[in-house]
Amino acid sequence: MRNATRPVGARAGGMKIKIRELDGDVGREVRAHAQTRIALALARFADRIGEVLVRFSDESERQPSQGKRCEIEVVLSPRRVHAADDDADLFAAVERAAARVARSVARALEQERELAERAAGGALSPRGRGAP
């Protein structure tokens, strides 16, 4: 098993996207597809994202029932969000992992916003601010 790691990085809308290929070369087309798809999926959050790490691996060597794996980690301040998908078709794995990570980032930022609102305005009662 070859365990080469080749970083490929580029800025997309302020986000730094780093691609790591474990277990061999996934090909230029897959890297380009991942770069484009992830940048599009996360574009609306670009100003809140510090870095995106993408890892490709071949899970079929460890578990024959699994296929190729695309794992995406998004670095937000102060937390990290992860999503992954396995498929025999690496393009399909990228599509699903990108969609999952975009939903996870949206949830994380919404939770962060709600916490900030609560901290700024104090606890709200069900009947409104200041109601007994």
For 1, which DSSP code? -
* Count of alpha carbons within 13 angstroms of residue 10, beta-carbon side: 10
Percent of the chain with pLDDT over 70: 76
Query: Domains along the chain?
Result: 8-120 (3.30.160.100)
pLDDT of 67 over the 50 cut:
yes
What pLDDT was estimated at residue 125?
Answer: 47
CA pair distance 106, 61, nearest whole angstrom: 34
The dihedrals phi and psi of 124, each to the nearest 5 degrees, come to -100, 135
Answer for the pair 70, 45: CB distance below 8 angstroms, yes or no: no
CB 18 within 8 A of CB 74: no
79: CB partners within 8 A, 6+ apart: 108
pLDDT at residue 107, as a whole number: 95
Q: What is the pLDDT of residue 122?
A: 60
Across 17-36, average pLDDT: 88
Q: What is the pLDDT of residue 129?
A: 47
pLDDT value at 43 more than 80:
yes
71-122 pLDDT, tens digit per residue, is 999 999 778 999 999 998 999 999 999 999 999 999 999 999 998 888 887 6
The residue among 17 and 131 whose pLDDT is bigger is 17
Sign of the torsion angle spanned by Cα atoms 37, 13, 100, 8: positive
Residue 61 has pLDDT above 50, yes or no: yes
